[in-house]
Amino acid sequence: MRPDRYKFITCDYNLDGVSVDYSLLEYIQRVLPEGKTILELGSGEGTEQLLKYWEVISVEHDSEYAEKLTNRCIYAPLTEHKAIRNHSGSMQWYDRDILIPELEGLEYDLLLVDGPPKDTRCGIVKYIELFDADVIMVFDDLQRKADRAILNSVAGKLKKPFVTYTYQEGKPFGVINDPCTECGEPK
Ligand SMILES: C[S@@+](CC[C@H](N)C(=O)[O-])C[C@H]1O[C@@H](n2cnc3c(N)ncnc32)[C@H](O)[C@@H]1O
């Protein structure tokens, strides 16, 4: 699948290294029609790129980043949770007292797991039931061992397979409920 298949995403931006990169944006274009809704965990410069084509609801723990957003934001600071077997790092994740009522009945077509930062992501393993298990789930930052372990655990909990995408340039990412795999389209 060559980048020139993708007509509406142009590489006219310079993301900051923590944001979703071009290959991930390309992937989303491939699987998600324009105008559909993305639920994004973790906002940043990439959010503005997503907003050019899709509706985006951002979950953000940091008030500084939350205030910058022009789209709908669920501001949920991090709070402690119990340790999760096979996962180390910080045991902090978005405040469930805020998240649970906000996510209940929320409709979206793709879940993008790109936050909270670095070693604070394993909470999604514990709280994956809060999310719609049938939407496309994209996990960014699989260059990190901890994030590969998170994808592995979430897929195991949902009893679903996942695929990983690795490009020469850009960060690897993984997908559960990948429509490309299901329709047999080559990666
Ligand atoms: C990996 S970033 C999320 C990036 C976002 N999905 C994007 O594509 O721009 C995870 C968290 O880091 C923080 N963050 C966002 N942009 C940042 C930046 N340029 N430098 C440091 N932290 C950032 C925010 O609190 C965000 O929730």
Structure tokens at 27: 């992937």
- Please identify, by atom number, the ligand 1 atom nearest to the C-alpha of residue 18: 1
147 lines ligand 1 (CB under 6 A): no
Instruction: Judge whether residue 8 has pLDDT over 70.
Output: no
Q: Which fold has domain 35-176?
A: Rossmann fold (3.40.50)
Q: Which residue has the tokens 């490309």?
A: 180
DSSP 94-162: E-HHHHHHHHTT---SEEEE--S-GGG-THHHHHGGGS-TTSEEEE--TTSHHHHHHHHHHHHHHT--E
Q: Domain coordinates of the chain in residue numbers?
A: 35-176
Structure tokens at 141: 């930052």
The protein residue whose alpha carbon is closest to atom 25 in ligand 1 is 62
Pocket test for ligand 1, best of 22, 65, 93, 139 (most atoms within 8 A of CB): 65
Distance (Å, whole) CA 107 – CA 36: 10
54-113 pLDDT, tens digit each:
999 999 999 999 999 999 999 999 999 999 999 998 999 999 999 999 999 999 999 999
Starting from the edge strand earliest in sequence, which strands make up the sheet with 110-113, in order? 72-75, 55-60, 37-41, 110-113, 136-139, 173-176, 162-165
- Categorize the per-residue pLDDT at 29 as very low, low, confident or very high, splitting at 50, 70 and 90: very high
Classify 24 as helix, strand or coil.
helix
Spatial CA neighbour of 81 closest among 117, 130, 123? 123
99 or 8, which is more confident = 99
